Amino acid sequence: MSKTYSISELEFKANEIRKSIITMLEEAGSGHSAGPLGLADIFAALYFDILKHDPKKPDWDERDILLLSNGHTVPVRYAAMAHAGYFDKKELMTLRKFGSRLQGHPERTKLPGLENTSGPLGSGLSQAAGMALAMRMNKDLHRWVYVVMGDGELNEGNIWEAAMLAGKYKLNNVIGIIDRNNIQIDGPTESVMPLEDLAAKWESFGWHVLEIDGNNIEAFIDACALARAIVEKPVMIIARTVPGKGVGFMEYDFHWHGAPPDHEQAKQALHDLRTLQGRIRSEHQ
């Protein structure tokens, strides 16, 4: 994108994206809240700073690729895309409705700008590897494949098949991003199926691992810059995020993994976001 944003402007974008997520999910009446809210900072950073892309030319052949492997978090991508100018923000209110381009889980063929169809977990990293291999065959050295994964989805064997392959071929044009929010549907990840020592697992598969605060936009941008500079290995960014980030009663609570807010909850959530959870006065107070 031509315009560059300051960190505080990006933080403002992330908050706007969160408000859209709440409004969309309330209108839809179903969908996932915690993951999308937790990922808003990462998606604001991707769409307004990191990615080489053009909302007016979604199939621009020099664009960076952003794959969403954990498709249930797609409201954050839709919101970020709308705010970035891929389509009118009004369309966000069609999420999950009949005839909408914004399907409950993302479908590439429905909406320009989506790079993959996902929902069933564990396939995004393989697709990223395939795209990275194709770029290498094409001697296309100035593009990157970013792939956002959930932590719960790392239970899938397909992920580790892809991890081995990317390690084998040293796919340095793949940048993985794990949304390490420690929740999945049945509870905390470490009680459902322990993932730790997660960094050591990826390192042993031949990846360079960076661990950051995934709700810190500056840290994420820096991590991506470093990842692009590491040429000998693929890089996995373990982004520690707070599920439900920005909405007090949703934060850290796995029950919000797969639930939308009702009207009263949405009102409270938007209030939280406008006031940064009471730290500033709302314009409506």
Partner 1 sequence: MSDYHLVPNFDSKDAAKEPIRKGFGRGLLEAGKLNENVVAACADLTDSTQMSLFKNEFPDRFIEIGVAEQNLVTVGSGLAAMGKIPFVSSYAAFSPGRNWEQIRTTICLNDQPVKIVGSHAGVSVGPDGATHQMLEDIALMRVLPNMVVMAPGDSVEAEKATRALAKDSRPAYLRLAREATPIITTDKTPFEIGKAYVYAPGKDVTIIATGAMTYQALVAAHKLYVQGIDAEVVHCPTIKPLDNVTILNSVKKTGKVITVEEGQINGGLGGAVAELLSEEHPALLKRIGMRDRFGESGSPDELLEHFGLTAKHIMLAAHSLVD
CB of 64 vs partner 1, minimal distance in Å: 13
Contact present, 111 and 101 (Cβ < 8 Å): yes
Measured from the CB atom, the residue of 118 and 189 that comes closer to partner 1 is 118
CB of 39 vs partner 1, minimal distance in Å: 21
- Residue 271: count other Cβ atoms within 10 Å of its Cβ: 16
DSSP code of residue 114: B
Contact present, 70 and 40 (Cβ < 8 Å): no
Interacting residues of 267 by C-beta distance below 8 A, sequence separation 6+ = none
Among residues 56, 138, 232, 264, which is the contact residue for partner 1, using CB under 8 A?
Answer: 138
Contact present, 68 and 48 (Cβ < 8 Å): no
Measured from the CB atom, the residue of 117 and 155 that comes closer to partner 1 is 117
CA 45/CA 218 separation, integer angstroms: 8
According to the binding rule CB under 8 A, does residue 165 interact with partner 1?
A: yes
Among residues 70, 73, 116, 172, which is the contact residue for partner 1, using CB under 8 A?
Answer: 116
For residue 285, which amino acid is it? Q
Helix (H, G, I), strand (E, B) or coil at 60: coil
Among residues 82, 131, 209, 223, which is the contact residue for partner 1, using CB under 8 A?
Answer: 131
Measured from the CB atom, the residue of 155 and 275 that comes closer to partner 1 is 155
Residues in contact with partner 1, total (CB under 8 A)?
A: 31
Q: Footprint of partner 1 on this chain (CB under 8 A)?
A: 107-109, 115-120, 122-123, 126-135, 137-138, 157-158, 161-162, 164-165, 168-169
